[in-house]
Structure 1
Amino acid sequence: MKDPVTTLDARFSDTDAEPTSWDATQEVLENAQITWLTTVRADGRPHVTPLVAVWLDGALHFATGPEEQKAVNLAANPNVVLTTGNNTWDEGLDVVVEGPATRVTDPEALERLAAAWRTKWDGRWQFEWGEDVFRNDIGGPALVFAVDPTKVLAFGKGTFSHTRHVPRRA
């Protein structure tokens, strides 16, 4: 998402609050060490799990094994919510990303994403790419997904603010 429409929701913000800028929101997404993914099971129950994600080219990316619950859920319903932030009450910024998760299978995109994972975690996440998946020495193949946000919420703490970022309409 580039240059979104940004608005402050005064109902959930301090009277002196300013909207959180897109740059500040994007910085949280770029630097997050852990992100929580919520998918929906076939019976309608939510499934939440922590994972590592990479913000690249205006989308949040994650990987999962094809047999994992999140992959099973995504096969039936691609809509997800990803959250990250700071687990304190009065400082930091929490960010919520909503949108559909779509498979990334393009070899060039997978190569760039594998490099982004290596860079972000100082080489601790080593993915190779091929045959439309990631591979590593820990387990089997990993499906890669991109979430192009339909909405991003930023919750400022200290001075409490509720900011909404949505894509600009063409």
Structure 2
Amino acid sequence: MTGPVTELDSRFSSPDATATPWTAARERLGDAEVFWLSTVRPDGRPHVTPLLAVWLDEALYFCTGPDERKAHNLAQNANCILTTGTSSLHKGLDLVVEGAVRRVKDTATLRRIADEYVAKYGSEWTFDVGEEAFTNQVGGVALVFELRPDTAFGFAKGVYGQTRWRF
């Protein structure tokens, strides 16, 4: 796989900034514990909620119940944004990943994603794989979504730099 086109936006960067490599962003996406999902309600109003996500095979994966607001929003409009970062002003790397999601339904991929949740978050986040979704022991269902980046932005702090990656 070739990497994305990487560009530093000098308008929003320190004079001595350099573009953040995509490899650093990918590592941060893999390590981040909490993400913020932004979707659009059917009436056009935004909706933002925190959730857990895993990075696997160059995509972010997350799950939600079929009756939750974010599931309804994504059924109407698959375009969304996942963000992660720090609340620190002077250190760290904040990331914004834009794209359209797709439902993951095949058992083999769901199993790999479920295994990745346990590897990243521990056994407390064990999911069973049911028919086209995650399930749990009390009968709950969680739809699984894949967000493969179209565009991503990195906001480096300290030496401030805004990097854009286009896929």
Task: Please list every run of 5 or more consecutive structure 1 residues that lacks an aligned counterpart in the other structure.
Answer: none
Q: So what's the TM-score if we normalise by structure 1?
A: 0.95
Question: Bigger CA drift: 129-138 or 72-81?
Answer: 129-138
**What letter matches 2:34 in structure 1?**
I
Given residue 31 of structure 1, which amino acid in structure 2 is its aligned partner? D
Structure 2 length as normaliser, TM-score? 0.97
Aligned partner of 2:155 in structure 1 is: 155
Show CA shifts across 1:82-139 (max 9, x none): 0001111110000000000110001100000000000001222010112000012366
Aligned position for 2:64: 64
* SS state at 1:86 partner: coil
Cα-to-partner distance string for 1:40-96 (whole Å, 9 max, x where unaligned): 001100000000000100111100000000000011000000000111111000000
* Amino acid across the alignment from 2:74: L
Q: Distance in 1 between matches of 2:165 and 2:135?
A: 34
In structure 2, the partner of 1:13 is 13
Alignment of 1:18-167 (within 5 A): 18-137=18-137, 140-167=140-167
Change in CA separation of 1:96 and 1:137 when aligned onto 2, cut-off 3 Å: same
Q: Secondary structure at the match of 2:105?
A: coil
Tell me the secondary structure at the aligned position of residue 142 of structure 1. Answer: strand
* 8 Å CA contact 1:152, 1:164 repeated in 2: yes
State the one-letter code of the partner of 1:15. P
Q: In structure 2, do the counterparts of structure 1 residues 139 and 85 end up closer, same or farther at CA, with 3 Å as the change threshold? A: farther
Q: How many residues align?
A: 167
SS in 1 for 2:123: coil
Tell me, in whole angstroms, the C-alpha distance in 2 between the residues paired with 1:29 and 1:159.
Answer: 20
RMSD (CA atoms): 1.2
* Offset from partner CA, 1:131-159 (integer Å, 9 cap, x none): 00001236610000000110010000000
Q: Find the residue that maps to 2:125 and give its secondary structure.
A: coil
- Quick one: distance in 1 between partners of 2:118 and 2:90? 32
Runs of at least 4 residues of structure 1 off by over 4 A? none
Cα offset, 1:3, TM superposition: 1.1
Q: Is the 8 A contact 1:129 1:135 kept in 2?
A: yes
Is the 8 Å Cα contact of residues 105 and 144 (structure 1) preserved in structure 2? yes
